Structure 1
């Protein structure tokens, strides 16, 4: 018998040859030079050929209190066959005035469809923005009618006057000869107990988002999409210091290492790095007008490979799947969705975990300090936080294809330096931070390596906050921020690379706030920012876009520079936004 891997390689090669020819134009909303409206270089979700069926979730709903906005969902009656792609589109706006940034989430049957935050308005600008999310892997959820809700808690009164409005819809693209049906999970299970959907509050490292599930007895592969969003005292976790140094540096305590930890039945099952999102009111609101920080309006989930546990999850017994945040210090909002692929030709899959070196590896960073206090009370020096872990999780599953051994190998790390200069006229804190993860998922049929996926994430972040006290009692607070989101994916079948993709999204911004001697904000100046977004894959997709702003308005834009013929073009099946990609899953 020909090993299944050979069949898959042939199919993949033919698929690559076919789809490489079918590019869909990929254009983000074009920022207008001179505009003060929201402007980003982010790509939209590329679309397959053909007309979609559209299901509206809600239209022009006002969010002016803390109540959820419920809606009913039914699948499209005109697109009942297989889908090549499913895309969520949502449009939001907020009226001019004063308003905080707000967390925004959309749900269906307990599963998260969108997670992000809102743009802050100004007295003269009523910003509007558009977000999209590829929900193709959630097709099993969308096959059935259900109840959903939109949650954007918003205080509106005489002081905070901005009213948020939103519209959302789902677009279903029928499969065709030009756009194959997506190979999607057979079931999607939300973590958490809310049947419609909401986040869980994780105040400490021991708090957990968990659900006990009895899954089908033929689980072949499993993945967990995770969101962990910092809130309240944890909003600026990336600048916090260990409790021992919090008082003398006038900073938040609890340290600044955060990591999502996934467990199955209490056994460590994987980790997910936490992205240092900065919301549009964060640090200095003018930094993010009109260009918000990386993913601030539209978070990307992190997908954890739980396939080594497939045999264990198929035993017909209840299993707890849980998420915790190491270092949580009041608090993180978390949600997760378990995606399960089933063996269509087996009623019962058996197997077990054979190796798990993550067990016993505590998420405890090493702390160092050169902080020193002078006799006059001046403070200077560094606080460093380091952690670097390596682990292997391996398990087998007896399937209709034979015994499949799945191995996940991961290196994950966090490296941070907080540099302080504090004296009678200066409070300066410089943050230099990097979070990274390198993982490899392998699938073996017997002793034969059929597929492997390599995935790299790198989250560089730096902040220079420099506050100077003048002789008249006024204060200048200058902030400079650099954010990056870098991702590399590669799929190999039988040792040959059949697909690879790279995402690189960076935002650099600066501004200076001026406060009078009474502490009131009197002015700001020097605002400027730049965003650069680049995507490429091994089948010829290329997307590049840049923009620059100054004094709260767009000053320049460019799309396509650096791509062949100076124009963006992205295959319809690609994921230029960095969202999880089922086409890169081993064993597919």
Structure 2
């Protein structure tokens, strides 16, 4: 097998040759055992660590021992590592957080560098006797162009500490750099990143209605070959439980929030639709019933993943040297969605100006519209039935650019579907609501280089399932007696990259949690809980031999079991260093349209 790659860049096969052929088994790392203590009430999650390449690493501390007691700024300064050069195979963000025992809400946490978001998530709630701590890891190699120069940054974690809310949150963060070497070549990172945030220091932007937008006018390089927008959209305030909301006309009858249940991110360029992103139903550690999430929070709760929108078909438009307004909106927003994004671009190293054209955009004529089937009934004050919300559309965007390596044509076809069915049972003895929701995305991208180039195809399928039931029960006097809750939440992503019928790479990720608890009430206040249990299952496999499995089981608020290696050969977790087992965006090796 021969290996060919552009100078200064490498792709899937170059990385594989350097690792599998040259370094054999040493190119794979075995995941550590869970390292959790059965019986512990501290945070325990099944998510995989970021696989690390071989070689000695350099660490740069971003901040240490920050305490978050209010909504003040927490700035810091960054300088590139010394003795590690500027050619890295991987860069990993590591962060550690904790909160003192007591009473405290879940809080949104984010880390910014040069105005760009490098971490977004929420915090674990404490209890009167438990001071939880947790560890975060993110592959931030795509920010290499930003990390080569000194930057200012800030950590944002608004908190309230007073006589009622006593939990003080602390945090530290660092970047770990792995210099490129013969076994771990330089990452094929984007050439530039352009943040979409709240000002030069960074920060999310609040969208309160479906017409609000986060919009930034950018004058971009004129030699863009590829462009990707990583999007975060987190529901807060009135939209924290957006998946439980019903149309305004039924909100009083259903005793639920209004605005409907349909949410979708809209991406536009100069006012014209250019892409969409599904909204993941993240549930905070205080959501629905806080005891359900102790000690294992919901899927991605502590560490959100962005959704990557491929804007490559619009590269020719972005290359014209004119300013362009890139905007993010949330269809159906009805309270507060915190949004941000990062635009990553790859540039032609041999031409300063690329020409081309946008050849198709059927999304432009497709507004985001959901249909609602209301089957609620009211029989003398006893309410039952369901409200179903459905939306689905297919669209195509396509374009080309003429580069130093010939014409590159990109054709994106995508189908996005949303289904949410809410059932209700409301009478003098109970209020029960059930949710059965599923968001799916099927995306196929074909890329062809030159008049006789072979088409490289990537196929991605994403599922965001959510099933939940919650409510309250009442005695004959109308007093609340209990509140049973149960949630099953998932995230799955299948990815295939192929040339013709030859599969170059395939990966499958599945992350799910099943949890339940029942609150007890005395005189209208929570007096206890019972039946807490949860199971988180994480699975990752690819066609190169990587495999990761972990199961975490809790009961009565403590860890009861944790096992590694589920569904892996010999029950052993093995991850090649360049994989993304968490399903974070992976442009450099799996989405690169090149063959090598």
Could you report, residue by residue, the CA deviation over 1:455-489 in whole angstroms, capped at 9, with x for unpaired residues? 11100001111321123634211000000000111
Could you report, residue by residue, the CA deviation over 1:30-75 in whole angstroms, capped at 9, with x for unpaired residues? 2210000001011010000111110000111110110120000001
1-side partners of 2:500 and 2:327: how far apart?
Answer: 34
User: Residue 16 of structure 1: SS of its match in structure 2?
Assistant: helix
User: Residue 359 of structure 1: SS of its match in structure 2?
Assistant: helix
Equivalent positions of 1:497-576 (< 5 A) are: 497-516=503-522, 518-576=523-581
Structure 1 unaligned segments of length 5 or more: list them.
Answer: none
2-side partners of 1:19 and 1:470: how far apart?
Answer: 66
Deviation at 1:14, TM superposition (A): 5.4
**What does residue 447 of structure 2 align with?**
443
1-side partners of 2:53 and 2:11: how far apart?
Answer: 19
Alignment CA distance shift 1:11-1:252 (3 Å): closer
Q: Is 1:379–2:401 an aligned residue pair?
A: no
Alignment partner for residue 396 of structure 1, among 400, 414, 423?
Answer: 400
Structure 2 unaligned segments of length 5 or more: list them.
Answer: none
Kept in 1: contact 2:15–2:185 (CA 8 A): no
1-side partners of 2:145 and 2:499: how far apart?
Answer: 27
User: Residue 275 of structure 1: SS of its match in structure 2?
Assistant: coil
1-side partners of 2:75 and 2:562: how far apart?
Answer: 38
Number of residues of Structure 1 aligned to a counterpart in Structure 2? 583
Alignment CA distance shift 1:433-1:343 (3 Å): same
Kept in 2: contact 1:5–1:493 (CA 8 A): no
**What does residue 123 of structure 2 align with?**
118
Alignment partner for residue 492 of structure 1, among 481, 498, 518?
Answer: 498
**What does residue 88 of structure 1 align with?**
93
Q: Is 1:176–2:178 an aligned residue pair?
A: no
Deviation at 1:18, TM superposition (A): 4.0
User: Residue 312 of structure 1: SS of its match in structure 2?
Assistant: helix
**What does residue 340 of structure 1 align with?**
345
2-side partners of 1:170 and 1:29: how far apart?
Answer: 23
After the TM superposition, which of the residue ranges 104-113 and 15-24 deviates more from structure 2?
A: 15-24
Deviation at 1:561, TM superposition (A): 2.9
2-side partners of 1:5 and 1:56: how far apart?
Answer: 34
Tell me how large the CA RMSD over aligned residues is: 1.8
User: Residue 238 of structure 2: SS of its match in structure 1?
Assistant: helix
Alignment CA distance shift 1:14-1:137 (3 Å): closer
**What does residue 427 of structure 1 align with?**
431
Equivalent positions of 1:218-237 (< 5 A) are: 218-237=223-242
User: Residue 566 of structure 2: SS of its match in structure 1?
Assistant: coil
Alignment partner for residue 246 of structure 1, among 225, 230, 251?
Answer: 251
User: Residue 489 of structure 1: SS of its match in structure 2?
Assistant: strand
Could you report, residue by residue, the CA deviation over 1:406-440 in whole angstroms, capped at 9, with x for unpaired residues? 11110101011000011110111010000111111
User: Residue 339 of structure 2: SS of its match in structure 1?
Assistant: strand
2-side partners of 1:33 and 1:182: how far apart?
Answer: 39
1-side partners of 2:459 and 2:107: how far apart?
Answer: 35
User: Residue 506 of structure 1: SS of its match in structure 2?
Assistant: strand
Kept in 1: contact 2:18–2:182 (CA 8 A): no
Deviation at 1:403, TM superposition (A): 1.5
Deviation at 1:12, TM superposition (A): 4.5
TM-score, normalisation: structure 1: 0.97
User: Residue 358 of structure 1: SS of its match in structure 2?
Assistant: helix
Kept in 2: contact 1:502–1:536 (CA 8 A): yes
TM-score, normalisation: structure 2: 0.95
**What does residue 16 of structure 2 align with?**
16
**What does residue 133 of structure 2 align with?**
128
User: Residue 531 of structure 2: SS of its match in structure 1?
Assistant: strand
Deviation at 1:81, TM superposition (A): 3.3
Equivalent positions of 1:34-73 (< 5 A) are: 34-73=39-78
**What does residue 587 of structure 1 align with?**
593
User: Residue 363 of structure 2: SS of its match in structure 1?
Assistant: coil
